[in-house]
Structure 1
Amino acid sequence: MASLEYSMTNINLVVKDMSFVLPDGRTLFSALNEQFDLRPTGLVGRNGIGKTVLAKLLAGLLEPGTGYCRCAGSVHYLAQHVGFSRGSTVADLAGVRHRLDALCRIESGSIAAEDFEALGDHWDLCKRLQNELERNHLGYLHADTPVDMLSGGEEMRVSLIGAMLSDADFLILDEPSNHLDRPNRQALIEQLQRWSRGLIVVSHDRQLLESMERIVELSPQGLRSYGGNYSFYVETRAHERQSAQQTLDECKLERQRQERVMRKHSLRQEQRQARGNRQGKESNQAKILLDRQKERSEVSSGSLRQKQAITRARLDQRVREAANHVEDESHVTLHAIPVTRIAKRCVAELDNVILPHLEGDTRTISLTIGGQQRIGIIGPNGCGKSTLLRVLAGKAVPVSGTCLVTPEYAYLDQRLEQLDSEKTVLEQLQIANPTATESDLRMRLAQVGLEAHKITTPSGLLSGGERLKGALACVLYADSPPQLLLLDEPTNHLDLMSVQALEIMLRGYKGALVVVSHDDVFLKNIELTDHVCATEHGWRLQCPSLSGLHPSEIVH
């Protein structure tokens, strides 16, 4: 009872029978009900399900169609993309510029009421901002530091500092770790762990979700709370899927059994009716008696058909209800990658290559990539990871050195520029695999999660996740699959289920693989053979199972 009273007294945000209708008239979701307390909560769900809209509803930035969302205190919402005009500073990014300006005017002699009202009780705001910057290892920044000088990771962390300085009772963060490198992702997690009030994080970042105390999933069935971190959520969902599938299988078997019973009853009814008709004719009964017997038989047959129709409808309804609880995973079913020829012994070789547009020790690299080697390129933003991939792909020319790469390679950059935005994914896959039938290609695209109307839509109109799935299908389901696959941050636009599907696909790929990613869980799950790490001493080769590096593992 004590734990129940605690949870009830700490509920800060309540969602009741809430729905939202899109401008085109489609209902995004309806009848949502949930309670959010002070536990750090991760909000998950498939792309397009409405997580960002829900986050804005929770923050009071949108109005629901029906129902309501109420918070016992103030809410601060931090969007995925923080846009600021040229000339903005750290103070603007932290959302404290107006207060600091008011403080400056007061210190210069202003007695304007609006300045005192804007400042409120935040007389020590300048000091608090600098203390928070130092606390979060950003002490080299100041209130007047131009935003143009900040990296993407620094921008997000400064924005989060501003959210914390807002003294909000609830923080709602939308994909805060997107595009952050490994150090900044870890710093973000540590920063959030110091927050003691309400917190909702919309994310596909499994490492970040693992630090949450609760996961809430948004699905077509509504909101469902799981009282644990991401690992607990995954385990519970697996049990639920297994139980739901078992229930569906049992309902289908019961429907088949009942169908057999009803067919037997119908056959017996027909046999009795035929026997009665035959006996009536053989006994030379009067026509009026035969007609009455026929009428009774037809009534009996009609009654049986009606009862069986009701039974079938009830059984079909049970199957439909059971099927509704089985998650439709057809869109993440993937074929094995048919690399037909044995991979070459060496698919790429860099000899004393100096990478363009870089300074420092990671500017130079020598590296040989074997035919079945699987490499993760790891390092902070700006160290040259994407540049290294672009050199391997022939998209950037090295300053000096030799770069030899098999012509049988495929490269997918973060913007997926390989896709023709004016052509459909189906058209582009047909070009890549002219020997396959259209029906086979349609099936494969459907199984990587592209609906029928999406594969006939110009790829430039698709979402980021849809475009990535289409691009991967065009590469991996080509008539001649690549011997070397180069991927730059492939998980950036994918939801959790699609990331897991991508992991399955890449584990099945038997060629050489080079991947740039900040997602540690993803890199672990695709079974890499090596890491190439950017360090202060240059690039170093490391086995993923090792915790340290040895001098012999230096990539010169």
Structure 2
Amino acid sequence: MSSAILLSDLTFAWPDGEPVFDGLDLVVNPGRTALIGANGSGKSTLLRLVTGTISPTRGTVRVEGPLGYLPQDLTLDATRPVDDVLGVAATRRALAAVERGDTDPSLWATIGDDWDVDDRARETLDRLGLGHIDLDRPVGALSGGEAVLLGLAGQLLRRPRVLVLDEPTNNLDRAARERLYAMVTAWTGVLLLVTHDRELLELVDQIAELRDGTMRLFGGTFSEYEAALAVEQEAAQRAVRAAEGDLRRQRRELDDAHVKLARRIRYGQKMWDTKREPKAIMAQRRRQAQVSAGKHRGLHEERLADAQERLASAEEAVRDDATIRVDLPATAVPPARRVLTVREAVLRTSAPSWATRGAPSVAVRDARFPRASSISFDVYGPERIALLGVNGSGKTTLLAALAGRLPVSSGEVDVAVPVRLLPQRLDVLDDELSIVANVHRLAPAAGENAIRARLARFLFRGARAERPVGTLSGGERFRATLAALMLAEPAPQLLLLDEPTNNLDLASVRQLGEALAAYQGALVVASHDLPFLRGLGITRWLRLDGGELSESGPPLGA
């Protein structure tokens, strides 16, 4: 059975008239296709168009084959039973009624050919590491990662031939990611996914890049895309240098033409003044010189304009992906300085909403560590610590306790330096205030000029720094939040990051890595993103399991 996604002349604009796509064409055939692009480029909008959540302004979207869709922000009612989330509750009820002897014809219609629905559901759950979950239990006790996998299982049970996934590895621990990778590797239909996960991007067959409202396809994995792009950008840089050289040459030739013209004018005037030749002949020569000079000047000006156009065209092909610059000497921590002490701390098994605002975006989660388990560890100097653990092990709760946003049930947490927490949901800032005003809240003693100069290092220059936070794209909001925390007074010498790469595009992940490379304080990062952690120069790996914290070596591949 054939399957494909076909976009023809796809055009979409928001109700206020802001365009997103204009005349986009794309064919996605069976295989694994990753859709990449900067935050705000329209990736999630395109997925919503493909899945029929919204309609195009013009053009057509055609999906050939049954469709499955796992959105980025999956919210589940905690009271719903698992089989209802999987979409098999009605079939299971009909089967149970038939087994009790009910002969209502509507039951047979509900069951159809799906007599093995229980076996299929359990096999799918087991394949995704959820075999321990009872089909009749409510989803409220599931962790965020389990809820994501449960949503994926529900889509797979519908037997789709076209599967659309939006950031599927968000909130997944290492084991869950491995199971997702295995599912993606085995997929034989059409798979279109949006992800920042480098490991997942290495499993795809092609990259579809969305940039400035246009789409380009690159065959191969993300590494092959990067290699092809590097070759392309090197050629583009050479073209810019050649165009710049040609422009300089044309300007010199135009200047030379002006000098020669001036000389001819002076010579003609001299001949006129001395009247060495008949007036008619001199008048004719003057007209000829003027015509010749005009043609000469026009020729060089035309060549100069062509050279400027070629330079502009060459510069358009060069990508200007600006980088964050961080120079905060006040964050430096001497090697022997005590940063943090935790002694026999028992974490709370549930936290008030104000303390866990950085929790997974899925509406169901739990903390599965025992109440009696305690945690002890020390941090000295500019250590870089990776905090690992399965979903629901308490990493977010531990970070909230270290940041002083959640008290521990017992024991001691003593932070000896200024500390800041970057939560998952990036809700540190006031949406109604501008970026400048938000930074000023955290650094009230700093003058506006100083704040603007610092924000420029985070790519917020001029009027961009005046934008209300509520209008920012995901990547911009991330940069604004990071800037506000980094520029706070006193400067943070301990920075806590909770799944910082969730929902970030690849450019923002790179920018975060560059910013943290320049950060001179101590760092604790809870993340399942091994490629990101590898780039941070992690010095200690800690694992939270069953409420107990232990030193561990880096995971395989890290």
Q: What is aligned with 1:192?
A: 184
Give the aligned residue type for 1:126.
D
1:510 paired residue among 520, 526, 538: 520
CA deviation after TM superposition for structure 1 residue 488, in Å: 1.7
Are the counterparts in 1 of residues 430 and 469 from structure 2 also a CA contact under 8 Å? yes
Identify the residue that residue 148 of structure 2 maps to in structure 1: 156
Number of matched residues? 537
C-alpha separation between the residues in 2 aligned to 1:190 and 1:468?
31
SS of alignment partner, residue 477 of structure 2: helix
| Farther-moved stretch of structure 1 (412-421 vs 521-530) | 412-421
Q: 1:175 aligns with which of 167, 171, 175?
A: 167
Name the CA distance, whole Å, in 1 between partners of 2:275 and 2:342: 101
Cα separation, 1, equivalents of 2:460 and 2:136: 47
Instruction: State the match for 1:385 in structure 2.
Output: 395
SS in 2 for 1:363: coil
Matched, 1:472 2:478: no
More off after superposition, 434-443 vs 531-540: 434-443
Deviates more, 1:410-419 or 1:222-231: 410-419
Match of 1:223 in 2: 215
Whole-Å separation in 1 of the counterparts to 2:242 and 2:67: 46
Measured after TM superposition, the shift of residue 320 of structure 1 is: 2.1
Alpha-carbon distance, 1:28 to partner:
0.6
Q: Which residue in the other structure is 2:230 paired with?
A: 238
Q: Does 1:41 align with 2:33?
A: yes
Q: Cα 1:149–1:430, aligned 2, differ >3 Å: closer, same or farther?
A: closer
The letter of the residue matching 2:382 is Q
1:520 is matched with 530
8 Å CA contact 1:93–1:155 kept in 2: the answer is: no
Equivalent position SS for 2:397: helix
Bigger relative contact order (CA 8 A; separation at least 6) = 2
Matching of residue 348 in structure 1 with residue 340 in structure 2: yes
Does the Cα contact within 8 Å between 2:325 and 2:458 map onto a contact in 1? Answer: yes
CA–CA distance in 1 between the matches of 2:345 and 2:302?
75
Relative to 1, partners in 2 of residues 1:218 and 1:303: Cα closer, same or farther, differing over 3 Å? same
Question: What are the residue-to-residue correspondences of 1:393-412 with 2, within 5 Å?
Answer: 393-412=403-422
Contiguous gaps of at least 5 residues in structure 1? 1-8, 549-556
Which has the larger displacement, 231-240 or 43-52? 231-240
- The letter for the 2-side match of 1:525 is G
Residue 105 of structure 2 is aligned to residue 111 of structure 1: yes
Equivalence for 2:551: 541
For residues 308 and 114 of structure 2, the distance between their equivalents in structure 1, rounded to whole angstroms, comes to 64
Distance 1:546 1:96 in 2: 37
Task: Supply the AA of the counterpart residue of 1:70.
Answer: R
Q: Which amino acid in structure 1 is aligned with residue 149 of structure 2?
A: R
3-state SS of the aligned residue for 2:40? coil
Counterpart code for 2:7: V
CA deviation profile, 1:212-271 (whole Å, cap 9, x unmatched): 232221111622222222222223223322222222222222212222222212221222
**3-state SS of the aligned residue for 1:236?**
helix
Change beyond 3 A, Cα 1:399–1:142: closer
SS of aligned partner of 2:407:
coil
Aligned-pair identity in percent equals 33
**TM-superposition CA deviations, 1:506-531 (whole Å, max 9, x none):** 11111111111121111111111001
Q: Specify whether residues 91 and 400 from structure 1 end up closer, same or farther in structure 2 by C-alpha distance, changes over 3 A only.
A: closer
Match of 2:127 in 1: 135
Q: Is the 8 A contact 1:416 1:467 kept in 2?
A: yes
CA deviations 1:514-551 (Å, max 9, x no partner) are 11112111111111100111235821113438899xxx
Letter of the structure 1 residue corresponding to residue 398 of structure 2: L
Equivalent of 2:62 in 67, 70, 77: 70
Q: Find the aligned partners of 1:297 and 1:66 in 2 and give their Cα distance.
A: 59
Alignment of 1:5-24 (within 5 A): 12-24=4-16
Amino acid at match of 1:271: R
Amino acid at match of 2:326: H
Task: State whether structure 2 residue 48 is matched by structure 1 residue 51.
Answer: no
Does the aligned pair in 1 maintain the 2:39–2:474 contact within 8 Å? no
Q: Which moved more, 1:66-75 or 1:526-535?
A: 66-75
Query: Match of 1:334?
Result: 325
181, 200, 208: which one pairs with 2:200?
208
TM-score by length of 2: 0.87
2:356 paired residue number: none
Q: Does 1:262 align with 2:287?
A: no
Whole-angstrom distance in 2 between the partners of 1:443 and 1:322: 31
1:474-533 deviations in Å (ceiling 9; x for gaps):
232456532211222222232111101110111111111111112111111111100111
Please give the alpha-carbon distance, in whole angstroms, between the structure 2 residues aligned to 1:251 and 1:29: 31
Question: What letter is aligned with 2:103?
Answer: G
Q: Which amino acid aligns with 2:324?
A: T
Q: For residues 372 and 550 of structure 2, what CA distance do their matches in structure 1 show?
A: 10
Distance 1:231 1:173 in 2: 21
2:119 partner amino acid: K
* Alignment deviations for residues 110-148 of structure 1 (CA, whole Å, 9 cap, x no partner): 224xx6555443232233112222333322224332222
User: Structure 1 residues 410 and 287, CA, compared in 2 at 3 Å: closer, same or farther?
Assistant: farther
- Counterpart CA distance in 2 for 1:35 and 1:286 is 78
Contact 2:393 2:546 in 1 (8 A): no
In the alignment, the residues of structure 1 paired with residue 530 and residue 250 of structure 2 have an alpha-carbon distance, to the nearest angstrom, of: 51
Alignment check: 8 A CA contact 1:18 1:67 kept:
yes
Distance 1:157 1:45 in 2: 25
Q: Secondary structure at the match of 1:244?
A: helix
The one-letter amino acid paired with 2:377 is L
Give secondary structure in 1 for the equivalent of 2:31. Answer: coil
Counterparts of 2:329 and 2:277, CA distance in 1: 75
**Quick one: distance in 1 between partners of 2:535 and 2:512?**
10
Structure 2 gaps, min length 5? 350-366
| SS state at 1:40 partner | strand
C-alpha separation between the residues in 1 aligned to 2:329 and 2:535?
A: 20
Contact 2:40/2:474 (<8 A) preserved: no
Contact 2:331–2:493 (CA under 8 A) maintained in structure 1: no
Counterpart check, 1:426 vs 2:436:
yes
Alpha-carbon distance between aligned partners in 2 of 1:454 and 1:83, rounded to the nearest angstrom: 33
CA distance in 2, matches of 1:269, 1:438: 53
